[in-house]
Amino acid sequence: MALDAPTTPSSFFSPWPDRLRHSAIILLAAALSLSVLVALDELSPIRAAVVFACIAAAALVPWRLHGAVTSREDVRLGNPVEAAAVNAIVAGMPDPAVLLDRAGRVIHLNAAAAQLAPALRKNELAQFALRSPEIITALREAIATTEPRRATYLDHVPVDRWMELIITPVPVPTTFGGTDKCMLMTFHDQTPLRRVEEMRADFVANASHELRTPLAALSGFIDTLQGPAKEDTKARERFLAIMHTQATRMARLIDDLLSLSRVELSAHVRPDTMVDIVPIIRQVADGLEPLARERQVVVEIDLPEGPVAIAGDREELLRVFENLIENALKYGASGGRIIVSLTSGLSSDGTPELRVMVRDFGPGIAPEHLPRLTERFYRVDVGDSRAQGGTGLGLSLVKHILNRHRGRLLIESVPKNGAAFTACFPQPKSASLA
Ligand code: ADP
């Protein structure tokens, strides 16, 4: 790689500097005036010589000082920029940042950069300290062309991270006027963005897969009904019933997807209307009574007599309790009973909260699944969920609604001993459990 030759400091006479021109004019004027005075016998030649020497000294001292400064420009070649100001700017940058001279030598680096690449040293070539081939190529190109460069690479230390390097040529003011073309290298962690992008792609793939499955069943039955089973009344009834179930599943999926995106859109706006959650829970339990009967599950409701008000969105709270109670009835039916209770307690940081717990006595959930249950489309048993008309979005919706209410979802389970899903809400000061 070619290293740039250092710039030569401007020579004493070329280009003819302003300050020297002024000194020459002063000296010329002094010489003329003194000669006239000597010629007119107003001043002795010796005195005139002394005065001229004084004037010459006065005219040349600033230039000599400047000469001293000029010689300091040699020093500036080692560190040519306004060190303090530029250092402060680089140090203050939130991401790792390194300022290089045109040859690629490190002038300044901030703490984040030192942590990212501990081998970087001031006044040493950055290429020797950076191992990634993508960085080295980008750096070489930036040095050769003095054009901006970008590179993305996978960093492995201390953990795998996708990093983006941006090299920007920057004119940096020097101590003695003028600018030096330096290069600013900044590093940005792209991992969160990549994760979001992967999640988005997974979500689209999952949603289209979930919709395609019932759609394929529907079009298959339509073909059968138009062809081989055209005249078969019994088969027609059976197929129409299945088609109805599939169409309901598709409608539910679309419904859940729309609810999710609605809740996400308003995630930052906390509901501020006070609602009594006791009648909301009762309404959901009453609505699910037919399902409980069908599954032969006894639903025990343990709610306070009086009202319990929280800041909430009634429709969203209905969805929360509907999902939790319905899940208990679907997946925990074998336990024969579920308990829905409302209590108050303290969160881990000591703030009072209201807790609505839905407890079943079914097969429970293995511990490895618990942290993933609120992921979109995550199911312990996909076949079982589909057979129950599930979409895999219910708990994800519950989590988002609770987040919007500044609450949280607790999931506890002991395999073979049932599961407990608890929706916790911050307790307003006025709320009481009568
Ligand atoms: P689904 O539409 O599949 O019910 P959810 O997001 O509501 O989606 O639930 C995700 C998965 O969590 C379910 O598929 C099921 O495997 C598991 N699950 C939820 N509730 C219970 C429960 N009470 N007992 C056992 N497993 C449950």
pLDDT at position 23: 75
Substitution site in 248, 329, 375, 395 for ligand 1 pocket (most atoms within 8 Å of beta carbon): 395
Q: Report, as an integer, the average pLDDT of 415-434.
A: 84
Q: What is the pLDDT of residue 44?
A: 85
pLDDT digits (tens, 9 = 90+) for 124-153: 999 888 888 999 999 999 999 989 999 999
pLDDT of residue 1: 35
Neighbouring C-alpha atoms within 13 Å toward the C-beta of 424: 15
The answer, yes or no, to whether residue 16 has pLDDT greater than 80, is no
pLDDT tens-place string over residues 242-263: 999 999 989 999 999 999 999 9
Please tell me the class of the 83-189 domain.
alpha beta
| pLDDT at residue 53, rounded to an integer | 85
| pLDDT for 82 | 60
Among 22-26, 117-121, 160-164, 250-254, the least confident range: 22-26
Q: What's the whole-model pTM score?
A: 0.64
Average model confidence (pLDDT) across the chain? 86
For residue 404, the Cα-to-chain-centroid distance in whole angstroms is 20
Atom 20, ligand 1: residue with shortest CA distance: 327
Tally of CA atoms within 13 A in the half-sphere of 52 that contains its CB: 20
Pocket test for ligand 1, best of 373, 381, 416 (most atoms within 8 A of CB): 373
Closest CA to 273 of 306, 319, 313: 313
Query: Quick check: do 83-189 and 200-265 share a fold?
Result: no
Mutating to test ligand 1, I would choose from 253, 321, 329, 385 the residue with most ligand atoms within 8 A of its C-beta, which is: 385
> Is 269-434 CATH 3.30.565.10?
yes
Domain ranges of the chain: 9-77, 83-189, 200-265, 269-434
Query: Ligand 1: which atom is nearest the Cα of residue 328?
Result: 23
Q: How far is the CA of 307 from the centre of ligand 1 (A)?
A: 30
Our CA angle for 193, 197, 201, nearest 5°, is 170
**40-61 tens-digit pLDDT:** 888 888 888 888 888 888 777 6
Structurally, at CATH architecture level, domain 200-265 sits in Orthogonal Bundle (1.10)
Alpha carbon nearest to ligand 1 atom 24, residue: 331
Contact 1, 127 (CB under 8 A): yes
Q: Considering only residues 73 and 180, tell me which one the structure prediction assigns the higher pLDDT.
A: 180
% of the chain beyond a pLDDT of 90: 59
Q: Render pLDDT for 147-160 as a digit per residue (tens, 0 to 9).
A: 999 999 998 877 88
Nearest CA residue ID for atom 8, ligand 1:
392
Q: Which residues line ligand 1 (CB under 6 A)?
A: 323, 327-328, 331-332, 360, 362, 365, 373, 379-381, 385, 390-396, 419
- Rounded to the nearest 5 degrees, what angle is found at the Cα of 155, between the Cα atoms of 153 and 161? 95
What's the confidence (pLDDT) of residue 354? 96
Q: What is the mean pLDDT of residues 164-170?
A: 95
Residue 36 has pLDDT above 80, yes or no: yes
Check whether 287 has a pLDDT greater than 90. Answer: yes
